[in-house]
Structure 1
Amino acid sequence: MTLAELAVEVALLGALGLVARRFGISAIPAYLLAGIILGPNDPNFIQLVKPSDVSAFVAEIGLLFLLFFLGLEFSVSRLVRSGRHVFIGGAADLVVNFGLGLLVGVAAFGFSFTAIVVAACIYVSSSAIAVKSLIDLRRLADDETDLVLAILLFEDVVIAAVLGFVATGGGSVATTAGVTAKALLFVGASLAVSRFLGGAIGRLLTRLELEFFLLAVFGFLIGMSAVAKGLDLSEAVGALMAGVVLSESGVREEIEQRFFAMRDVFAALFFFSFALTIDVGKTGNVGWMVLVALVVTLVGKLGTGILTGRLGGFSARQGLNAGAALVVHGEFTIIIAQLAAGNAALTLAQRNDVAAFAGIYVLVTATVGVVLMKESKKLGRLLLPTPAVD
């Protein structure tokens, strides 16, 4: 990737991001579309940019920032406050949607590790798009939003183990069990540090001048990622846990303020770089998967919202609103596919199919999901005419 290619890339990302905002949808599909248009794969539109060591490095930094910021939103105290919504809603979401996703994966790839990767892609919703849409639609104060955030929080916990498994699993049972055990221990240790040492870390950071504060936070992020890599886990797990540790530090808001712009720039480049690997010419291989996955996602997420909403004391309409917020898929689905692309347990053909599936699936669900969120209350009044509180 040359400087000229990077300039064209950034300009197009900015333009498409503005168009996406104009229509009230997430910019993630726009960034993926930019990579497909400019990338080297079929269909041959322009082919101005090719994957390179530079694009791979930029994408890796973007991945780390995405997960670091997600970790900052997590805290042990928040997990406790969310109470039964986390465990009832999260467990139901995992069983129903991972199970439905596994059916799609088995239908496409048989009983294999690749089927589990597909199930994970379908299971996990996009925290970034869901929360941003809730803010834009002014629904943060709605009662059922607590259920949405609780389920997303549960998914954040599960995803730490999933990322490690996807990146290095698929081998022998003993190897896979070992990787999963290390991931759980790493997550548990990070949660303990966050709970008992987070305040001390925050006080230390507040004593630093701004320049050294930024260097310390960035160094901690990279260091945790390196530790995870050294434990044969994914760097993504380390980045997520770096955010978790600092979530209880008392300087979370300052970290978010200082690094927010950097996160958005590198995240845009991450999605673009991933899209460079998507060969839309292979849509014929995965088109039916995307269609089936969309159907099971709508059924699974909406059904989970209504079911867990009723169990949590909400009306059916409120449950529908919650389920609609979970339909959107984005950063995690792409991250899982990206990590799977580096796993030797998948053949080259399987990696290409998973990448194409994940990219197109995110394009579809991120668009359909946001529209569904906007119209969920109208849909609830139409489908559930029984008087209920919205």
Structure 2
Amino acid sequence: MDLNIVYSFFLIFSGAAVLASIALLTRQPLILAYIVLGAMVGPYGFSLIDNLQLLSDIAEIGIIFLLFLLGLDMQPSALLHVLRKATIVAFVSSLLFAAVGYSVALASGFTQTEAGVVAIAVTFSSTIIGIKLLPTTVLHHRHVGELVVGLLLVQDLIAIIALLILAAGDKNLSASNISLTFLALPMIIGGAYLVVKYVLLKLFAKFDRFHEYVFLLAIGWCLGVAEIAKTAGLSLEIGAFIAGVTIATSPISQYIAESLKPLRDFFLVLFFFSLGASLNIALLPQIAIPALILSLVLLAAKPTIFYGLLRMVKEDRKDSWEIGFRLGQISEFSLLISFLALSQKMIGEAASMLIQSTAILMFMLSSYIVVLNFQSPIAISDKLRRD
């Protein structure tokens, strides 16, 4: 690790500690402190840290661990049951969210192509925010947590299709690419299950006294399946989730989950920091009003649409509202869609900035709503704080 990385980590974690203290004293969500710090010391602020690509790559590991730990807490039978219901809600809600995003972007003066990209970008909810604010030991074993996870997983698959379409550009979309990607999913799940059953569980049972070995084997398995999934055209996050689910039935899964939590939190601080640092403040005056309008419309539309659809599939009224608010932001996939569409010259920099600004604004506002009203690990109220 060179001096530049050490200096960057010093600024990030020392600065985060200071701002997190202020956030807690003023009863604000900690995520807000990390994003604000990124905007302050990143290339568009005081420019104290400028190697954002490296930090972003490192931060992605936190997302991978987050999904791996989530998988460790999900029993395969419960997951299959909830996915059947989540698939219908996820597909219908995606179409409705896209219509909202397209309409607002078009009314704000963007071209039809740019409005189409904005529509795709606002379709999904954030896996990071949604799962980070789930109480691990309370909701994952309850229906609310299972539905949140199921909806996010189906949305991730839809997002992968959207990314494949954008990656194909305006020339031609290869249906075979999409078919191969979805054919790879059951193959990876089946292969992972066999490796766990005949190799990993035997190794865990034989060497469970060596805690560092269990730790290393778990990390290696998580990152290995994640890379296989990425190579097959899926995402690192889906691969990590599969890695976790396949060993969820093992008695050692809870020990692994507890061991990896500090590592996950370390990398997630970097993720939210890099998110704030990527915000180009100079362009804000140009897109501030459209971004604010789009954010507020979506913050109202997402919980309402989720509530209506979940009620249609016979979900409880209280649970439907809670799920809607927990998924009431747009996704980190939106940032990737924005970058890819800009590189393909499908949208201009203003449209890209609109997507980025809306994502960050909704991350913050949605986090406020959840932290102040529902159980979460970082709730300010003792009554709502659960992990």
Alignment root-mean-square deviation, CA: 3.7
The verdict on how the C-alpha distance between 1:188 and 1:153 changes in structure 2, with shifts beyond 3 A counting, is same
Query: How far, CA to CA, are the matches of 1:265 and 1:56 in structure 2?
Result: 13
1:296 equivalent in alignment to 2:298: yes
Q: Deviations over 1:166-211 (max 9, x none)?
A: 3763425754534433332232223334556644455134133322
Distance change in 2, residues 1:34/1:264 (3 Å) = same
Partner of 2:385: none
What count of residue pairs does the alignment treat as equivalent?
Answer: 363
- The TM-score, its normalising length taken from structure 2, stands at 0.76
Give yes or no for contact 1:125–1:327 (8 Å, CA) kept in 2. Answer: yes
Residue type of the alignment partner of 1:100: V
- Tell me the SS of whatever aligns to 1:341: helix
* 3-state SS in 2 of match to 1:123: coil
Question: Residue 334 of structure 1 aligns with which residue?
Answer: 332
Distance 2:168 2:254 in 1: 39
CA contact (8 A) 2:223 2:240 kept: yes
Contact 2:139 2:145 in 1 (8 A): no
Change over 3 Å in CA distance of 1:182–1:92 after alignment to 2? same
When structure 1 is superposed on structure 2, of 293-302 and 333-342 the one drifting more is 333-342
Aligned partner of 1:14 among 17, 20, 27: 17
| 1:191 corresponds to 2:193 | no
CA shift in 2, pair 1:69/1:147, >3 Å: closer
Question: Compared with structure 1, are the counterparts of its residues 152 and 83 closer, same or farther at alpha carbon in structure 2 (3 Å cutoff)?
Answer: closer
Give 1:50 shift: 1.4
Give 2:335's aligned amino acid: A
Any stretches of 5+ residues in structure 1 without a counterpart?
A: 375-390
Within a 5 Å distance, the mapping from 1:84-233 to structure 2 comes to: 85-104=85-104, 109-112=110-113, 115=115, 118-127=118-127, 129-130=129-130, 133=133, 135=135, 140=139, 146-147=143-144, 149-163=146-160, 165-166=162-163, 169-171=167-169, 174-175=172-173, 177-193=175-191, 198-206=196-204, 207-208=206-207, 209-233=210-234
8 Å CA contact retained: 2:73, 2:140: no
Q: 1:132 and 1:265, CA in 2 relative to 1: closer, same or farther beyond 3 A?
A: closer
Structure 2: distance between partners of 1:116 and 1:182: 26
Instruction: Give 1:126 shift.
Output: 3.9
Mapped contact 2:79–2:146 kept (Cα < 8 A): no
Report the Cα distance in structure 2 between the residues aligned to 1:76 and 1:95, rounded to whole angstroms: 28
Displacement after TM superposition at 1:302 (Å): 2.3
Find the counterpart in structure 2 of residue 58 from structure 1: 58
* 2:72–2:247 contact (8 Å) kept in structure 1: yes
**CA offset at residue 318 of structure 1?**
5.2
Residues in 2 aligned to 1:90 and 1:292: alpha-carbon distance in whole angstroms: 20
Query: Given that residues 118 and 355 in structure 2 are in contact (C-alpha distance below 8 angstroms), is that contact kept between their aligned partners in structure 1?
Result: yes
Tell me how far apart the structure 1 counterparts of residues 239 and 106 of structure 2 sit (CA, whole Å): 30
How many angstroms apart in 2 are the aligned matches of 1:75 and 1:194? Answer: 15
Q: 1:65 to 1:340 in 2, by over 3 A?
A: farther
